[in-house]
Amino acid sequence: MRIVLPENVKFIIDRLQSAGYDCYAVGGCVRDSLMGREPHDWDFTTSALPGDIERVFDDHKTLDIGKRYGTIAVIRDGVHYEITTYRVDGDYSDTRHPDEVSFASEIGADLSRRDFTVNAMAYNERDGLVDLNGGRGDLQYGVIRCVGDPDERFNEDALRILRALRFAAVLGYSIEQKTSDAILRNRKLLGGISPERIRDELLKLLCGEKADFVLRRYRSVIAVIIPELKGTFDFEQNTKHHNRDVYRHTVAAVRNIEPDPMLRVTMLFHDIGKPLTQTTDKNGACHYRNHQTVGAAMTKEILKRLCMPNLFIDEVCTLIRWHDERFRPDTVLLKGYLRKLGARAMKNLYKVQRADILAQSSYMRDEKLSTLGASYNELTRILESRECYNLRMMAVSGADLIHIGYHTGAEIGDMLEILLDKVIDGTLPNDKEALLSYAKSGFDKA
Ligand code: ATP
Ligand code: MG
């Protein structure tokens, strides 16, 4: 088995070997290389202690990533390469961090502390592939399997539960039976894991090709980290527009949108407000008025708890708040939305609505898609023609108004909004002279 190592990777391994140490590429990069995927980074495991690593690379910039855990980053051509001493993790008093790490002298000990067999392989050109846990076979058959006893491994670090789901979603692998049973049995342990670690794994999971399968099969695990979703499980919708319960519809909507974290998170939560807003009319049909607003508020709390960045939270919540808006191919109307929400959100809303419609029943689907498509075409036309829809695009600014005699901020602000209204509805052209003349007459009257 041969893996083509990049020059810098070979250099690092050679350097440590020439200094008398063992060194291998390890983990995700070996897994990805064997799968024919380009690794996004390369990690190393070595018999050298952190101090030795720093000494061997004393002509390089190095960073102490976690010396206590044996990790030093060597920076070469601007890229960080993490090199970690062979490690065995000590006793665990909680489910997060090893209390102590002891360094090992053999690679076998290091590989057996790793989470899954496909992540527990090492490689260098001298020794070839080191696969002591059957990782290659599991890779061939597409299986996620714990190294060692799954219950023990999840008790040592419960994040591994979510990592298993993440790898299953991203690689499209199945989870081996004993590992899967232990995931379900131990899922509550995820409650003790820091939100930042959960967040990172969850976003990767959601962007996986098989995210839909994992979200369905392991929904009880997802419910530990996001209990608010439980209300959507098996929640029947009772409307012609839907042929799935809210959670199944949600999962289908996640699948229907491109694997971008913001869009996938939006779809995961877009209907979370439905169970709380259901009403039944006299014909027995259900309605969900304001589920967008309620859903956006719930999502904000969830995403804050998961330590997502504020900008990300705001963008997701805007998309959820407006996901059910019926856009029509009407220029004035669309410019009004562009003014309020901006071009980026509007383009994303189109994707969100399309994914949503495709996850609904076929009732009126063609009509919905064709109205949406026509609206999108008009939106694109407006954006490409650079027609004015916000204050920044207007041919006059506050300074121009001051020039013709406006004084207070309020006066200026009000007149600018009036001018924009008129430009958008077509009563005034976006032309400096015409706008100033209108503003002047308004000012003279006042
Ligand atoms: P990615 O493609 O996301 O980088 P990866 O497998 O490289 O996937 P990392 O989080 O970068 O994942 O971890 C590198 C390696 O460290 C893993 O392949 C695995 O061998 C080991 N590892 C990471 N996290 C854990 C954990 N929680 N428990 C045990 N081993 C772990
Ligand atoms: Mg990695």
* CATH label of the domain that carries residue 233: 1.10.3210
Q: Which of 190, 225, 260 is the last residue of a domain?
A: 225
Q: Which of 132, 154, 181 represents a domain boundary (last residue)?
A: 132
Indicate which atom in ligand 1 lies nearest the CA of residue 204.
Answer: 3
Q: Is the CB of 114 under 6 A from ligand 1?
A: yes
Q: Are residues 375 and 423 in the same domain?
A: no
Identify the DSSP state of 201.
H
Q: Are residues 96 and 150 in the same domain?
A: no
Task: Flag whether the pTM goes above 0.75.
Answer: yes
Q: Are residues 40 and 146 in the same domain?
A: no
Number of domains the chain contains: 4
In this predicted structure, the answer to whether residue 444 has a pLDDT above a threshold of 70 is no
Is residue 2, in this structure, part of any structural domain at all? no
| pLDDT tier, 382 (very low <50, low <70, confident <90, very high otherwise) | very high
Per-residue pLDDT tens digits for 85-97: 998 876 544 554 5
- Which of 132, 153, 170 corresponds to the end of one domain? 132
Which residue puts its alpha carbon closest to atom 28 of ligand 1? 115
Q: Is 232 found in the same domain as 219? A: no
113 with 34, same domain: the answer is yes
Q: Are 37 and 88 in a shared domain?
A: yes
Nearest ligand to the CA of 95 is 1
Q: How many CB atoms lie within 10 A of CB 51?
A: 11
Instruction: Give the domain extent around 98.
Output: 7-132
Output Rg (C-alpha) for the chain, integer angstroms.
Answer: 28
Phi and psi based region of residue 48 (left: phi greater than 0; alpha: psi -120 to 50; beta: remaining): beta
| Same domain membership, residue 383 and residue 262 | yes
Is 137 contained in some domain?
Answer: no
**Ligand 1 pocket, 160 CB below 6 A?**
yes
Output the pLDDT for position 97. 56
Ligand 1 touching residue 135 (CB < 6 A): no
Residue 1 lies in a domain: no
Q: Give yes or no for residue 43 CB within 6 A of ligand 1.
A: yes
Task: Quick: pLDDT tens for 111-126.
Answer: 999 999 999 999 999 9
14-34: pLDDT as tens digits: 999 999 999 999 999 999 999
For residues 275 and 370, state if they share a domain: yes
Pocket test of ligand 1: the residue of 119, 152, 199 to mutate, having most ligand atoms within 8 Å of its CB, is 119
The answer to whether residues 220 and 274 belong to one domain is no
* Closest ligand to Cα 38: 1
> pLDDT tens, 135-146?
999 999 999 999
Ligand 1 atom at minimal distance to the Cα of residue 27: 18
The residues whose Cβ lies within 5 A of ligand 2, an ion, are: 28
Q: Do 67 and 159 fall into the same domain?
A: no
Instruction: Enumerate the β-bridge partners of residue 81.
Output: 74
Percentage of the chain lying above the pLDDT 90 cut: 92
The residues near 50 (Cβ < 8 Å, ≥ 6 apart) are 64, 67, 70, 71, 72, 85
